[in-house]
Amino acid sequence: MVSGVLDIESETALAAPAAALAAVLRPGDTIALSGDLGAGKTTLARAMLRALGWAGDVPSPTYTLVQPYDLEAFPVWHVDLYRLEDPHEAEALGLFETEAALLIEWPERLGARLPADALRLHLAGSGDAPRHLTWTAPKAWEGRWPPLPPR
């Protein structure tokens, strides 16, 4: 497990970490995006999908729960579990069977069903304030996240 922190001064500054994540994302991966209401989880997911080549809309999946994206390389599902009442409901959504990469907002709703090899990202801050991105990277993400510092 590796943990760390990154300051994100503005929404624009999300583009760099989003692109770094997009560059290493693989089918079957889970990225757990936690943080309070308005912390920027959807904004980060949107920036990742842009970096992955998606040119269309990226609506918040608050009501649909799962918004699939058929990207050229592999499918990505943007998931928002805010309205999930029980971890078992996630099975009906197909989250544990898909080969798509999962970007999951409100991953805490999954409780112990959150895959152990998920990359856990947490955004702190709200409103116009700068955000702090912290993470816990399991072994499955070794060499992928955190990105190597430029030299």
Ligand X SMILES: Nc1ncnc2c1ncn2[C@@H]1O[C@H](COP(=O)(O)OP(=O)(O)OP(=O)(O)O)[C@@H](O)[C@H]1O
Residue numbers at the binding site for ligand X (CB under 6 A): 8, 10-11, 14, 35, 37-43, 60, 80, 105, 128, 130-131
For residues 109 and 131, which CB has a smaller minimum distance to ligand X in the complex? 131
Q: Least distance in Å: CB of 20 to Mg ion? A: 21
Three-state secondary structure readout of the chain: CEEEEEEECCCHHHHHHHHHHHHHCCCCCEEEEECCCCCCHHHHHHHHHHHCCCCCCCCCCCCCCEEEEECCCCEEEEEECCCCCCCCHHHHCCCCCCCCEEEEECHHHHHHHCCCCCEEEEEECCCCCCEEEEEEECHHHCCCCCCCCCC
* Residues 55-74, mask of contacts with Mg ion (x by CB under 5 A): -----x--------------
Among 20, 33, 35, 42, binds Mg ion (CB under 5 A): 42
Q: Least distance in Å: CB of 10 to ligand X? A: 5
For residues 59 and 143, which CB has a smaller minimum distance to Mg ion in the complex? 59
Q: Which residue is nearest to ligand X (CB)?
A: 40
Residues lying near Mg ion in the complex (CB under 5 A) are found at 41-42, 60, 105
